[in-house]
Amino acid sequence: MKKKVTLIPGDGIGPEVSFAAQRCIDAAGVAIDWEVVNAGADVMEKKGTPLPEEVLESIRKNKVAIKGPVTTPIGSGFRSVNVALRKELDLFACLRPCKLYPGIPSIFKTIDLIIVRENTEDLYAGIEFHEGTPEAKALVQKIKELDPQAKFYPDPAISIKPISKAASERIVRFAFETAIKEKRKKVTAVHKANIMKCSDGLFLRTAREVAKDYEGKILFEDRIVDNMCMQLVQKPMDYDILVLPNLYGDILSDLCAGLIGGLGIAPGGNIGNGVALFEATHGSAPKYKGMNKANPTAMILSGVLMLHYLGEFKAADRLENAVARVLKEGRFVTYDLKPDRNDPTAAGTSQMADAIIRELRAQ
């Protein structure tokens, strides 16, 4: 029987990379019945909301979705569709493998690490107060009452950073279980507990407790986030699975994407209890919208993660191998993977997908 999967094309370069990925997944020999629903800036204009209820309904029903990037206005306008989806569906874990494929220029020989990012709390909780509002003033007043040492410049804007034991425990456990499933050796918890002793401190203390359940099976260590950034740039091969609170996970995902060839390569999946939504790490790159220029690899590799999740291991391996061969040959790849980014022989989004499909058919 065909598996039903929700496809959200997104906006900006989203539709181009999403439909390229859809074609490649179909060509990998797995029968999928796609249900296409729309979210994002374009939908906002028509429906008054960037995330119509039918999108959530479709994902809740099908349990598996793949999504192109969606633009989030900076500073004002609607809140992030991406964050809303993760919260509404309680997609608490973001899984982002960072693997260096042969053919991608790099100063490193191998990089093969997995980022596990907490998806539901931290500064992403969306609890924010604009400067000068009665709420922000009341909050400042309350904090001064609770902590007489607290000092503020006049009228600050405030964003709240909640970190709970429950959410920390489930993400760290998810990281260890991923380590076991993927036959990995080590989990590194990343934090700033030396400064944020309460929030990051709780994350670290919880990680240490959970790690005890895996003693003798999976190694555990921790790193302060600034040191972690330097170490990743110098010796990424020393790391295996990183588990991080939401904001550090977001930032280090892009850093690691840079190590493996850029955002055009880095896939991801957001996993909850019995429901999952797969999407590239990159955003909607609006300047390339409609130009058939963006690299579809990250979306296609997100499709590989999705096929794994669906238990379609053979199709997943075939698709990943086809992508790897196209990357290694370096001929039908997009501009971002050419040594000269202005190389006129660079493939377009759909031509790169065509090359991957040719490889699939040749297997």
Residues marked as catalytic: 124, 192, 226, 250
The binder of ligand NAD chosen from 120, 295, 312, 347 (CB under 6 A): 295
Residue nearest to ligand NAD (CB): 283
Mention every residue, 6+ apart, whose C-beta is less than 8 A from residue 67. Answer: 7, 8, 10, 14, 18, 39, 85, 277, 278, 279
Q: What is the dihedral of CA 254, 255, 259, 264, to 10 degrees?
A: 10
The binder of ligand NAD chosen from 6, 18, 22, 71 (CB under 6 A): 71
Q: How far is the CB of 170 from ligand NAD (least distance, A)?
A: 21
Residue burial 206-232, b: 16+ Cβ < 10 Å; e: rest: bbeebbeebeeebebebbebeebbeeb
* Residue 98 β-bridge partners: 113
Residues touching ligand NAD: how many (CB under 6 A)? 19
- 283 binds ligand NAD, rule: CB under 6 A: yes
Q: How far is the CB of 285 from ligand NAD (least distance, A)?
A: 4
Kind plus residue range of the DSSP H or E element containing 269: strand 269-271
What angle, 0 to 180 degrees and rounded to 10, lies between the N-to-C axes of helices 297-309 and 14-27?
Answer: 50
Q: How far is the CB of 2 from ligand NAD (least distance, A)?
A: 27
Q: How far are the Cα atoms of 136, 191, 231, 272 from residue 144, in angstroms, in the given order? A: 12, 27, 38, 38
- 119 binds ligand NAD, rule: CB under 6 A: no
- 69 binds ligand NAD, rule: CB under 6 A: yes
Q: How far is the CB of 69 from ligand NAD (least distance, A)?
A: 3
Per-residue contact string for residues 122-161; x = within reach of ligand NAD by CB under 6 A = ----------------------------------------
- 282 binds ligand NAD, rule: CB under 6 A: yes
Per-residue contact string for residues 297-336; x = within reach of ligand NAD by CB under 6 A = -x-------------------------------------x
- 86 binds ligand NAD, rule: CB under 6 A: no
Q: How many CB atoms are located within 10 Å of the residue 83 CB? A: 16
The binder of ligand NAD chosen from 118, 122, 279, 312 (CB under 6 A): 279
- 65 binds ligand NAD, rule: CB under 6 A: no
The binder of ligand NAD chosen from 70, 207, 301, 360 (CB under 6 A): 70
Pairing of β 128-129 and β 112-118: unpaired
- 88 binds ligand NAD, rule: CB under 6 A: no
3-state secondary structure of 153: coil
Pairing of β 128-129 and β 158-159: antiparallel
- Region of 150 please: left (phi>0), alpha (psi -120 to 50) or beta: beta
DSSP 303-325: HHHHHHHTT-HHHHHHHHHHHHH
List contacts with ligand NAD (CB under 6 A): 13, 17, 69-72, 82, 263-264, 279, 282-285, 288, 294-295, 298, 336
